[in-house]
Structure 1
């Protein structure tokens, strides 16, 4: 294995394991606990179009039983759950837009940690993939989808994703047809293709040293190394909008749902910090944001209104959302658009910027005040290829943002004249 030490106030050790997995470790001896997160390039952006939801359901079925292996008996989903409870440990899997994530939490008492790692390794190597459980879970998901159809927010979210992302996989959403097209064999094939040691990124935070961490990584990666290392195809970038898009969908509801936005930025965008700080002022800061002041406080058009960027490997959406009385929807849209136009053209005031920076800097400690939060942040560093001193320099990066930085960044990233507007449930 190769390594590169890091000297930082939050010391992140980084090396490449012999399996090819990249490892990021923060030794934190104060609590006898270990959190492990393993990320693979197997999020929903890898779903085939006709099988939207495949990554998510694969992650779900991974914990629903173990096949017999090496003289150990098979375990059904209840027995497997009880085995984790007996260890006082936790194992889980989930899939987001970019990542297929496996996580483990255990106390570091030697016997308990040994058994927890062994059980986690077995789950990766010998999941049962029970057909009966998938049939049951699929029926539950289909029922949930039918219930979601009764909510205007469901229709708004789907229309917004289609309009913002076009044919990009970020816009794919599971529906009845895509779930019916997924079988257990498809999940097994997806798992073997994407959950591979050579592309794994392992983040560890807890009371262990590097040598012990490397041994744990070796055991976990041995479970997926037989999967090989098939090259994955490139996923295209999200296309920029060329014109404004408006969709107004009828729906009988007490509140109209409004979503406005467009493709935003990828996580590696050089203007991440100006956009992050600027969005706090625009709509991410709750009751102190511009949107709340103009839409809620001055005009009473909505109880709450928000904006956010969702950067990923590709340009995630910039989104503004609110609910309002159906007869006020047109006015709420007009006011929101005007606020965005003004902010993009003029930027924040010096007073707004200083208040935002003070809040974000003073609250930084709360972002890393537990093993779980620190793990999330270090995993973010690993996945996005950020500098190892990213957390140490975070507050300085925020402090250095200027009014001109915010104005320039928003002017380049946001085009108010080419926004998607979706309104569900407004009166004509």
Structure 2
């Protein structure tokens, strides 16, 4: 079975369709009586199906004192399944072996906004029903064994201690806390927060948020709409059911507060390189400025060696091998981040040059030539966003999660092409205030500044 799955993946790579073919695949969408919403792209080239189930249960709903709860809850869903509905209990080894026997896979993870469960399986009638049943059990009936959690807590705590010896980790944590100003996006998982998390917390988290009426389900593969609807029904069958109208709304999460003033933190660290991060809250994924900001950032710092930041910081002054910028929009305003590494004695100069580049870009935007180069690269590389089932599923799940139009993939290149210099300049001016950014420098014999 494993060899069959490997051959299927190999055939998919060799026969990957063009971006045009992928974009032409229609997206179907419907709601089930239990309130679950389903998005489907039929792709019948290979006997495979990929499913992603998303819930509003990510880290933005973690209590500050139990930061990391969403992540560890997701991770523990694969550490054992309870005995229910006539099915026997399975420990973590038995769960792993059961998936290996099916040549399929099921996993869970949590990000800032959502908790996601993924299933990948061949659609062979002898295998898929078994994979769906096992997936439905792991989704709805995790055992959350306390002994396993005690072991996992120690393992994660050891990983945290090790990561805290790296300047990049110290910089990331200080930067997130400063940029997000108390919003859950900036919470940091620590040994102390892990120590407060119990399996009862996980069970409560799972029971409250992982319900059929809250599910957004994305399906890509060799199934029809009727087959996809049945598959989703079976996957969610063991979760709490009920009409959509009976699904109580979740409490709102406050927005990321804007920065009132510039903030600089210099943290001493015995390292060969100083790690520099500069930024501020950016924008929500639903913001209408999404495309101008996406295209504009390619010129500013997202385009690698052709970006302005690279030209000014690396090429002209030799202050850093790599310098970059990016936006991370979510349900709330994810950060705009500029990052680089340099010699500690050059950190102040490198940071100032980078900040000057950002300020100038906010004032002036890109040139016509820069904008054309950015759009040509992004449009030309669009096929790489869709050249595998997993990438196609990622795009479909993003459309589902963010309530994007069903023709989003068909119109993506057109939206990029329509961006003008004036659009970029106006969007950056609305979103960034260079005089009110957070700056974090880790490395060198500097004094800590709060």
For Structure 1 versus Structure 2, the TM-score category normalised by the shorter chain is over 0.9
How big is each residue's C-alpha offset from its partner over 1:147-172, in whole Å with a ceiling of 9 and x where there is no partner?
A: 11111111111111111111111111
* CA apart distance, 1:190: 0.2
2:180 matches 1:168? no
Report the Cα distance in structure 2 between the residues aligned to 1:34 and 1:279, rounded to whole angstroms.
Answer: 35
Task: Summarize the alignment of residues 178-327 of structure 1 with structure 2, pairs less than 5 Å apart.
Answer: 178-226=193-241, 229-327=247-345
CA contact (8 A) 1:59 1:93 kept: yes
* CA apart distance, 1:257: 0.6
Report the Cα distance in structure 2 between the residues aligned to 1:74 and 1:383, rounded to whole angstroms.
Answer: 33
Which residue does 1:388 correspond to in 2?
406
* CA apart distance, 1:427: 4.2
Which residue does 1:4 correspond to in 2?
none
- Give structure 1 regions of 4+ aligned residues with deviation exceeding 3 angstroms: 226-230
User: Which structure 2 residue ranges, 5 or more long, are not aligned?
Assistant: 1-22
* CA apart distance, 1:413: 0.6
Of the three residues 13, 22, 25, the one matched with 2:28 is 13
Report the Cα distance in structure 1 between the residues aligned to 2:216 and 2:85, rounded to whole angstroms.
Answer: 27
User: Which structure 1 residue ranges, 5 or more long, are not aligned?
Assistant: 1-7
CA contact (8 A) 1:348 1:403 kept: yes
2:168 matches 1:150? no
Which residue does 2:42 correspond to in 1?
27
Of the three residues 397, 408, 415, the one matched with 2:415 is 397
How big is each residue's C-alpha offset from its partner over 1:201-233, in whole Å with a ceiling of 9 and x where there is no partner?
A: 000000000111111111122221259834311
Report the Cα distance in structure 2 between the residues aligned to 1:27 and 1:356, rounded to whole angstroms.
Answer: 32
Report the Cα distance in structure 2 between the residues aligned to 1:194 and 1:160, rounded to whole angstroms.
Answer: 29
How big is each residue's C-alpha offset from its partner over 1:40-74, in whole Å with a ceiling of 9 and x where there is no partner?
A: 00000000111000000000000011122333322
Normalised to the residue count of structure 1, the TM-score between the two structures is 0.97
CA contact (8 A) 1:19 1:218 kept: no
Report the Cα distance in structure 2 between the residues aligned to 1:258 and 1:177, rounded to whole angstroms.
Answer: 27
CA contact (8 A) 1:193 1:230 kept: no
How big is each residue's C-alpha offset from its partner over 1:212-269, in whole Å with a ceiling of 9 and x where there is no partner?
A: 1111111122221259834311001111111111111111111101000000000000
- Say what the alpha-carbon RMSD is for the aligned residues: 1.1
Report the Cα distance in structure 2 between the residues aligned to 1:285 and 1:40, rounded to whole angstroms.
Answer: 33
Which residue does 1:99 correspond to in 2?
114
How big is each residue's C-alpha offset from its partner over 1:363-422, in whole Å with a ceiling of 9 and x where there is no partner?
A: 001101111101100110111011000100000000011111111110111100001000
Which residue does 2:387 correspond to in 1?
369
* CA apart distance, 1:292: 0.7
Of the three residues 100, 105, 113, the one matched with 2:128 is 113
Report the Cα distance in structure 2 between the residues aligned to 1:392 and 1:70, rounded to whole angstroms.
Answer: 44
